[in-house]
């Protein structure tokens, strides 16, 4: 990962679907040419806000360049970038949100938001670190420890991992059971002391404090206990399954958090 990535900057993003690499040297022509060859250039300009994500997710997949940083669209005051590998995500709320826990467990379960709020809540404050370089210091997350849900489900002794699925229909993540049982891994209902908003993966996202932010799956809908780790969305595209901040993905200079 080089340090020239535009997602490390706070400048507003242009409305046109140029890619980070194009903006880095001030010359968007490369990506426009690529869009043209796909026959999507004009459409991309008209429908930029929605289409950009799908396009860049796709282009990121073929270009192989820091794909987790390509879909950042809306820098805000807090320094976050919103990411989604899909063009749109359904909204879920108190009426229709469910989190299922299944797989190698004795007691599969389905939690509503009210169910999750009724469980003990843990608040953590650490720095957030995206693997592409941007970082948000001291960000509070609050929710139910993943270990609480795993204990409630009764994990089969021969299980070794946990797989996470999302109601965007595309993103997946995974942890080993040892990682999943850490006290700094949450099923988060709050971020920055507010309910997790839709763009940040609400109403419920995973929060894996010691790892790069791509582990923190947004729009969490399923927790499946499995025998072994199955690489997640970005991990099938080259990122480390063990995403410890500062110890993976070729970086050893990352700040703690």
Ligand X SMILES: Nc1nc2c(c(=O)[nH]1)N[C@H]1C(S)=C(S)[C@@H](COP(=O)(O)O)O[C@H]1N2
| Positions in the binding site for ligand X (CB under 6 A) | 68, 80-85, 130, 166, 168, 171, 200-201, 213-214, 216-219
Q: Which is nearer to ligand X, 111 or 219 (CB)?
A: 219
Asked if residues 200 and 191 have their Cβ atoms less than 8 Å apart, the reply is yes
Asked if residues 77 and 63 have their Cβ atoms less than 8 Å apart, the reply is no
Name 76's Cβ contacts closer than 8 Å, sequence gap at least 6.
none
**What is the closest distance, in whole angstroms, from the C-beta atom of residue 170 to ligand X in the complex?**
7
Asked if residues 185 and 223 have their Cβ atoms less than 8 Å apart, the reply is no
Q: Where are the alpha helices (DSSP H) in the chain?
A: 20-24, 29-38, 41-46, 48-63, 113-118, 146-153, 177-180
Asked if residues 120 and 100 have their Cβ atoms less than 8 Å apart, the reply is no
Residue 122 interacts with which of Mo ion, ligand X, none, CB < 5 to 8 Å by class: none
Residue 92, SS3 per DSSP: coil
Residue nearest to ligand X (CB): 171
Residue 85 interacts with which of ligand X, Mo ion, none, CB < 5 to 8 Å by class: ligand X
Residue 219 interacts with which of Mo ion, ligand X, none, CB < 5 to 8 Å by class: ligand X
Stretch that binds Mo ion, among 35-43, 58-66, 127-135, 161-169 (CB under 5 A): 127-135
Q: Which is nearer to ligand X, 70 or 104 (CB)?
A: 70
Phi, psi of 65 (to 5 degrees): -105, 115
Give the footprint of Mo ion on residues 130-159 (CB under 5 A): 130
Q: Does 214 bind Mo ion (CB under 5 A)?
A: yes
Asked if residues 108 and 100 have their Cβ atoms less than 8 Å apart, the reply is yes
Q: Which is nearer to ligand X, 31 or 53 (CB)?
A: 53
Q: Which is nearer to ligand X, 32 or 190 (CB)?
A: 190
Q: Which is nearer to ligand X, 57 or 153 (CB)?
A: 57
Binding mask 49-78 for Mo ion (x = CB under 5 A): -------------------x----------
Q: How far apart are CA 15 and CA 49, in angstroms?
A: 7
CB atoms within 10 A of CB 210: 18
Residue 200 interacts with which of Mo ion, ligand X, none, CB < 5 to 8 Å by class: ligand X
Residue 214, SS3 per DSSP: helix
Q: Which is nearer to ligand X, 18 or 68 (CB)?
A: 68
**What is the closest distance, in whole angstroms, from the C-beta atom of residue 115 to Mo ion in the complex?**
29
Q: How far apart are CA 112 and CA 122, in angstroms?
A: 18
**What is the closest distance, in whole angstroms, from the C-beta atom of residue 81 to ligand X in the complex?**
5
Q: Which is nearer to Mo ion, 20 or 103 (CB)?
A: 20
Asked if residues 5 and 13 have their Cβ atoms less than 8 Å apart, the reply is no
Binding site for Mo ion (CB under 5 A): 68, 130, 213-214
């Amino acid at each position: 990962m080089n340090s020239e990535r535009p997602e490390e900057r706070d400048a507003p993003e242009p409305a046109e679907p140029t890619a980070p690499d194009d903006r880095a040297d001030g010359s968007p022509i490369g990506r426009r040419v690529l869009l043209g060859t796909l026959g999507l250039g004009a459409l991309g300009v008209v429908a930029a806000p929605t289409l950009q994500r799908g396009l860049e997710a796709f282009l990121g997949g073929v270009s192989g360049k820091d794909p987790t940083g390509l879909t950042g669209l809306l820098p805000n005051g807090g320094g976050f970038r919103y990411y989604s590998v899909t063009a749109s995500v359904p909204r879920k709320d108190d009426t229709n949100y469910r989190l299922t826990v299944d797989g190698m467990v004795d007691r599969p379960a389905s939690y509503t938001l009210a169910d999750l709020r009724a469980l003990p809540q843990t608040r953590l404050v650490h720095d957030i670190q995206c693997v592409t370089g941007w970082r948000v210091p001291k960000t509070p997350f609050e929710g139910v420890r993943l270990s609480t849900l795993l204990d409630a489900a009764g994990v089969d002794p021969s299980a070794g991992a946990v797989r996470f699925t999302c109601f965007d229909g595309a993103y997946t993540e995974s942890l080993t059971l040892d990682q999943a049982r850490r006290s700094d891994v949450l099923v988060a209902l709050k971020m920055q002391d507010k309910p997790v908003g839709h763009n940040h993966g609400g109403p419920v996202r995973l929060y894996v404090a010691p790892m790069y932010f791509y582990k923190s799956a947004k729009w969490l809908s399923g927790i499946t206990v499995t025998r072994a780790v199955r690489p997640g969305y970005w991990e099938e595209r080259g990122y480390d399954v063990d995403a410890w901040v500062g110890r993976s993905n070729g970086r050893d200079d990352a700040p703690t958090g």
